[in-house]
Amino acid sequence: MNSARTERSYIPAEDPALRPRKTRTTVRVLLLNSADETLLFEDSDPGLADARWWVTPGGGIDPGETETEAAVREVAEETGYRLSADDLVGPVARRHVVHGYSDQVIEQDESFYLARVGDFEVDTSAHTPDELATFQQFRWWSTEELRATDDWVWPQELVELLHLIDQSDRWPVDLGTQEESTVLDVH
């Protein structure tokens, strides 16, 4: 478990420009089940009652960990599924992303991996205190459902990334710098 995680206040900053900033390196995993559905978690910003969006499993890379070691650990912690490093393909994409939340701004360099998994019962018992406070639910999404939803799904290119599983000659796609914010004015 990432010992560098800090407790959050979830109290919205009076002046968004004065929110504390944090930087980190992360890994995300696009899990595809036997029906080619992707597992996503509905995340939230407790400082904003109606702010909800969907994200892939993943999180921060601990000191001394490789991307694949972090990906295996994060999937186990967030879903209960035990991947091996050999189950991962990629990275299929990389990006720099700025997340502006009500109480902080997090800038992270992210790598995205793909993994095909058997059907399994998602187990969230190892979620961190932050995940317990912010994750609302999980579900498996078909590509058609992802294309049709009006919900926020991060990254916004998720459907395109899912189509890259068998196109390793295109990896890693550079998604550039992006902003995914519940509170604007992240500068």
Residue-level pLDDT at 6: 53
Residue-level pLDDT at 10: 82
Domains of the chain: total: 1
Residue 159 maps to a domain: yes
Residue 180 maps to a domain: no
| Among 2-11, 26-35, 81-90, the least confident range | 2-11
Q: Is the pLDDT of residue 4 over 50?
A: no
Residue 35 maps to a domain: yes
Residue 85 maps to a domain: yes
Residue 81 maps to a domain: yes
Q: Is the pLDDT of residue 5 over 80?
A: no
Residue that wins the pLDDT comparison between 150 and 4? 150
Over the chain, what HEC string results? CCCCCCCCCCCCCCCHHHCCEEEEEEEEEEEECCCCCEEEEEEECCCCCCCEEEECCEEECCCCCCHHHHHHHHHHHHHCCCCCHHHEEEEEEEEEEEEECCCCEEEEEEEEEEEECCCCCCCCCCCCHHHHHHCCEEEEECHHHHHHCCCCEECCCHHHHHCCCCCHHHCCEEEEEEECCCCCCCC
Residue 179 maps to a domain: no
Residue-level pLDDT at 50: 87
Residue 186 maps to a domain: no
Residue 97 structural domain: 16-165
CATH assignment at residue 69? 3.90.79.10
**Predicted confidence (pLDDT) per residue in 39-60, tens digit:** 999 999 988 888 999 999 999 9
Q: Is the pLDDT of residue 1 over 50?
A: no
Residue 8 maps to a domain: no
Residue-level pLDDT at 17: 86
Averaged pLDDT of the chain? 92
Residue-level pLDDT at 43: 95
